[in-house]
Structure 1
């Protein structure tokens, strides 16, 4: 049989395009729309310094006379026009949404990454070693599951801020928030990885690796971990939406990011204070952005769960 030339072999992009996941994505209009919305918001947030008409966090660029300007209406004093209006400080709402989404996405991605690393590590150890280590970690997980995640994140955030000097609290607020949300979400990763590890460790390829003397850490990293990542990716996608909502909730309650770096949750809290005085746009547009982002990411997670389920193929 003649060998195929390297040019005749399908490249990586061609194989990816012909994969089951790509086929499922192309035939799911809901997933395509959700992906487009997610990518649009993420790109707009990343490119905020180049897209935003104004820098809302630069006091030198603000004019209090522009405050409470309705959307698409010239200000009666300055004549300036803003697409989505301005808030009480004269900040362009469109610009604040772009910059606020950057903070919300950064906190969400970092919190999910932290929860993934912690949950996967503890899940692998519990599932592979078993015994009292497994029992201890799972009892801690069971206890944590009895508390709502947002209350647990609020508790961790409050305790962590108590150990930080007052002069450093604003500078460390975002990182404390990431740790608080991550510690409240690691359980889901740990339980799924533990169950998958308990199944994988009894298979022939793992037993063969043990027989030839492969170190347990190498077995976990190179053999078991790649085979348990499918469910983890699904949880991480849905967990990103939950982390963004958790950050928005904490910021809405006034215990999230500092006022000098407002996220979408902070913008919603500010807008809520002016809702009944007629300035509805200060609350409406950040709320729509948060809803669209969380919903699109959630829909992507639902699609990925179905795409990775062999029973639905």
Structure 2
């Protein structure tokens, strides 16, 4: 090596990854964070979603009243308008009260807890079922793939809300009568989850068909790894991107599905009302002039579904290089 070559080599900068940097500093250097900072709509949507989640989590602390405790209700407070005091009791209600004297703001906080819990649990159930079936279908192929995909194709011919309603009716009928109120939310979660697994399964199957032909999968076969080990430890981590996107979008769909079922009277029980139940209650009084009982729960549901949808659309774009 000549002296000039040696000088050029010594002058060449050396890039070394600093593995000791905190996680948040490494995260701030990623493309996802830079895309997030440049999207004011996504920032507003994520802040709104986090505020709704925190409001639901800390509802017992934030709520000025306990709306679903019969002992704390006062019928004299019924139909109090927003931001006004009741003429009989003198109590002040920020968002007014419903026909039973329940504070609408407090009912929204507790109803939000039910809607978020059912939505998140249903998506986790649908994701688990869909990912497992998608991995099995894409990796094994053959008649197993044919059976799973034909079931998925048949289910996709029906609206998901119809499937969820049918499954909820069947599950409610199979539940013992004395346990129906206690098991209502569980049956609702399973019904919505079984109606939403298809998107996960089809996406994971398509990604698995691509991944199973790659060299690292063949190497796993050569060293004697089992099929489950290859699917769960090697293929699954490489298909998590699409799964996260579908899970985010499915969360909004699950929340809307729960609200629709509860609005129709076949969802959450009246003892544990969700946003859909509150909207159904408000619908009964919209023509008599008590507009706030319907408006505020509807706006809360709109804000929740819209913020999740916007975040899901952004996540899909940022995780797909072809859409950048």
The TM-score range, normalised by the shorter chain, is: over 0.9
Residue in structure 1 matching 2:135, options 92, 104, 124: 124
Pairing of 1:234-253 with structure 2 (within 5 A): 234-253=245-264
> Which residue is equivalent to 2:208?
197
- Structure 2 unaligned residues grouped into runs of 5+: 1-9
- For 1:5 and 1:220, the matched residues in 2 are separated by 31
Aligned length: 312
Q: TM-score, normalised by structure 1?
A: 0.97
> Which residue is equivalent to 1:110?
121
Q: Establish whether residue 94 from structure 1 lines up as the match of residue 99 from structure 2.
A: no
- For 1:112 and 1:9, the matched residues in 2 are separated by 36
Shift of 1:134: 0.0
Q: Establish whether residue 30 from structure 1 lines up as the match of residue 41 from structure 2.
A: yes
- For 1:289 and 1:42, the matched residues in 2 are separated by 12
- For 2:16 and 2:251, the matched residues in 1 are separated by 43
Q: Establish whether residue 281 from structure 1 lines up as the match of residue 267 from structure 2.
A: no
Shift of 1:11: 2.1
Q: Establish whether residue 222 from structure 1 lines up as the match of residue 220 from structure 2.
A: no
Post-superposition CA distance 1:111-136 (Å, at most 9, x none)? 00000000000000000000000000
Post-superposition CA distance 1:13-33 (Å, at most 9, x none)? 111111111111111111101
Q: Establish whether residue 297 from structure 1 lines up as the match of residue 312 from structure 2.
A: no
TM superposition outliers: structure 1 runs of 4+ over 4 Å? 1-6
- For 1:210 and 1:259, the matched residues in 2 are separated by 54
Pairing of 1:1-313 with structure 2 (within 5 A): 9-313=20-324
Shift of 1:312: 3.4
Shift of 1:215: 1.1
- Structure 1 unaligned residues grouped into runs of 5+: none
Post-superposition CA distance 1:82-103 (Å, at most 9, x none)? 0000000000000000000000
| Bigger radius of gyration among the two | 2
| Residue aligned with 1:275, SS | coil
Q: Over the residues paired in the alignment, what is the CA RMSD in angstroms?
A: 1.5
> Which residue is equivalent to 2:4?
none
